[in-house]
Amino acid sequence: MEPLQANTMFQFTENDYITCIVILTVLLSFMTYWFTIHSNVFHKWCTRNFNNKTEKFKKIIVGRYFGFVVLGLIPLSIIELFTNYSISSLGILPTQGSLSESLFLDLGFR
């Protein structure tokens, strides 16, 4: 049996790079979201900026919007920048209605 050549051990195809980019993006985005939402800095910021009656409700809303940006928009833009995929090829564009109507509904305005 012949020993492996150094240049044949790790040959990645374009699909392998795309898979790595997607997995790393989602992993880093989730870690950023999780540790930010559960940090003392975030809790202190919410306590300082919201009064006691609405603190819990607004903290949930801020956490959801932060999650939408960190887990949705940032990975989407990174994947679109580093791969050949567009928003429409990922299935993001709405099938009915306009894009602005879809974003309006996605952001929670119903």
Tens place of pLDDT per residue across the chain (110 aa): 555 555 556 777 877 888 888 899 999 999 999 999 999 998 888 888 887 777 788 888 888 999 989 998 888 888 888 888 777 777 666 556 666 666 676 666 65
- As for how many domains the chain has, the answer is 1
89 in any annotated domain: yes
Indicate the angle between helix axes 14-37 and 74-82, nearest 10 degrees: 160
Q: Residue 83 falls within a domain, yes or no?
A: yes
25 inside domain: no
Quick one: pLDDT at residue 13? 81
Distances (CA, A) of 98 to 9, 29, 95, 108: 48, 28, 8, 16
Which structural domain, as residue segments, surrounds residue 86?
33-106
Query: Is residue 96 in a domain?
Result: yes
Encode burial over 20-46: b for 16+ CB neighbours within 10 A, e otherwise: ebbeebeeebeeebeeebeeeebeeeb
| pTM attached to this predicted model | 0.67
For the record, the structure tokens of 58 come out as 């607004």
